[in-house]
Structure 1
Amino acid sequence: MDLKDAILSLLEEREPGKTICPSEAARRAAGEGAWRPLMKPVRQAGRELAAEGRIEVTKKGKPVDAETVKGVIRYRLKGPGNV
């Protein structure tokens, strides 16, 4: 599964405004395989989706710059109601 598709499909399954952890996307993309090696590529896919305006990258519930953020992050769909 494409990493961007994994991120977007998980987010679309959630209630509006809810987030996912990048590791969830890595697990989905890996299927039965090892997911940890996918973490850097998933974070890159998340940065690309954020640059395209499709998702927000958050830290402690607040939007952050996807290009400079370090540490634990989450993703949510960009749209009305996401503060």
Structure 2
Amino acid sequence: MENETEKPLDPVAEFILETLAESGSVAPVDVARALGELRKRTSEKPDAWRRFMNPVKQQMIHLARAGRIEITRKGVVVDPEDFRGVVRMRLAGAKPQED
């Protein structure tokens, strides 16, 4: 660890950052589905990924507050403290993607 006072990132936050590094821009639901697929047990229902939605949203907001990612709605960066509707996330400072 570079800084001894720095806390390690939550595994969900790490997964979000890894996904964004590969994808550029992604919706929280897509991250939850990918995480659910990665951690899927054979006995689980197909919609078991839904249990990851709240942790993904919480970590998305945490990372946006820390300035590591941006939350966008209709291509415009929104305040992580006050947003609604369908959003996407991207690494902070990344160029907007054509969706």
1:66 deviation in Å? 1.3
Between the aligned partners of 2:63 and 2:33, the Cα distance in structure 1 is 18
Give the alignment of 1:1-83 within 5 angstroms.
Answer: 2-14=11-23, 18-30=24-36, 31=38, 32=40, 34-79=48-93, 81-82=95-96
Identity of aligned residues (%): 41
Unaligned segments of structure 2, at least 5 residues: 1-9, 42-47
Between the aligned partners of 1:81 and 1:72, the Cα distance in structure 2 is 19
What secondary structure does 1:35 align onto? helix
Structure whose CA Rg is larger:
2
Q: Aligned pairs, how many?
A: 80
What secondary structure does 2:64 align onto? helix
Q: Deviations over 1:33-72 (max 9, x none)?
A: 5111211221110000001110000000000011211111
Q: CA RMSD in A?
A: 2.0
